A and B are shown apart, each in its own frame.
Chain A
Amino acid sequence: MSQIVLDTLIVAASVLLAISVIIALYRIVRGPSILDRMIATDVVLASIMCGLGGFMALSGRTDLLPVLIVLAMLGFVGSVSVSRYVSKSDSMTPGAEVGSLSDFSSSDWHMPKESADDAEGHSDTGARQQAQSPVGEEWPDDVARGISDVADGPDAITVQEDEEPVTVGLDQGTDPSSDPSAEPSVDPDSDAEGEVMGTGPDSGPEDSDDGERTGPEPDDDEGGRR
């Protein structure tokens, strides 16, 4: 009797794990963005780990325990690396491929460096950044080429029809299509247009969510990050 219950439970667990892996594979195939595929891959990996653990518990192969560690590390490294190097060129929104290289340049590579420069002190780093100010000197070649080729990247970023326009910029509630016209209200100085055409301060609202805030003034940010 108890053997029948045990077999039923084991078969049910196996079926559930198999169904979950199949559904996660469907999400990997179907997934609209690469981050969805990464999450589904994590679920597949978690299901494999659960199945392997169940196999170890039922068959006594406890020598397979390092395999669990390896699988856990594999999931962590894969998820972190994919989400680190994802850019807007991998976006599911149509039209995002136009400014892909510029969006790649506006990904979060170089922003922690600038925030570190901001944190060092304003007197000497200002002169040093003015000395480094041409694009080809300050950034790598592919990034500079992406900036010079594409006039304004986030013009091409569109949202889907069922979504609200994503508000970037300060408080004016502008959508990204009218972002360069809204930037002089953010920065009324004459440098603002040059900034928009060059690197784009619109790399700011996505890029500066944590790296910028930790950098320059960490004292008044404590309330905002909680």
Chain B
Amino acid sequence: MILDIISAVLILLGGVLSLAAALGLLRFGDLLSRMHASAKPQILGLLTVAVAIAIQYPAWSTVTTLAIVISFQLVTIPVATHMVGRAGYRTKHLRRSMLYRDELAEAVDRAEAREAAWERRRGSGTDHNDG
């Protein structure tokens, strides 16, 4: 019975994390802030729920399948979040006033300068008017 209560508490913790992510989605005013908020239940909430399942049914098949689910989330969620953040940066879905420091802008500037130098080196002596 105490294991039931422990697993119920873990499920409640997953619900609390999910609610925290939803409140972050509701209240934050920026794409990157919402991304920061929304990553909580995707890994940690699911981890607590998986621990609850493993407490209730400690069989090898169940635990290994849960390990597969958790490791899949651990691998794919940073990739998906990186893709969303990169698309948000490129399409300017971010508030510059909410950034303390834009470290990516320096790298973008350097890449742009290198591309401009390469274009100048490539296009010298020709008069093509396109890209």
Contact = CB atoms under 8 A, between A and B. Distances in A.
Nearest to B104: A209
Interface residues of B, number: 88
Contacts of B123: 189, 191
Interface string B30-63: 0100110010011001100110110111010110
Given A2-B1, A50-B14, A198-B130, A62 B57 contact: yes
Interface string A189-210: 1111011011111001111111
A213 B103 CA distance: 14
Given A20-B19, A35-B31, A53-B46, A163 B96 contact: yes
A50 B15 contact: yes
Nearest to A165: B96
A186 interface: yes
Interface range, A side = 35 or more
Contacts of B5: 2, 5-6, 9
Interface of A: 2, 5-6, 9-10, 12-17, 19-24, 26-27, 33, 35-36, 38-40, 42-43, 46-47, 49-50, 53-54, 56-58, 60, 62, 65-66, 68-69, 72-73, 75-76, 79-80, 83-84, 86-88, 90-93, 107-108, 118, 122, 126, 129-130, 133-135, 138, 147, 157, 159, 162-164, 166-167, 169-171, 186-187, 189-192, 194-195, 197-201, 204-210, 212-213, 216-217, 221, 224-225
Contact of B92 (A65, A189, A206): A206
B84 A79 contact: yes
A218 B90 CA distance: 21
Contact of A50 (B45, B107, B113, B115): B45
A72 B6 CA distance: 25
29 contacts: A2-B4, A2-B5, A14-B15, A20-B21, A33-B88, A35-B88, A36-B31, A36-B34, A42-B38, A46-B42, A50-B41, A53-B46, A60-B56, A68-B69, A73-B72, A79-B80, A88-B92, A118-B118, A130-B126, A162-B97, A163-B95, A170-B112, A170-B113, A189-B119, A192-B116, A205-B108, A206-B108, A212-B111, A225-B107
Nearest to A134: B130
Given A46-B46, A129-B122, A191-B119, A167 B86 contact: no
A33 B31 contact: yes
B25 to A, nearest CB: 4
B77 to A, nearest CB: 7
In the complex, the 5 A-B pairs of residues with the closest C-beta atoms, listed nearest first: A199-B131, A53-B49, A16-B15, A20-B22, A206-B90
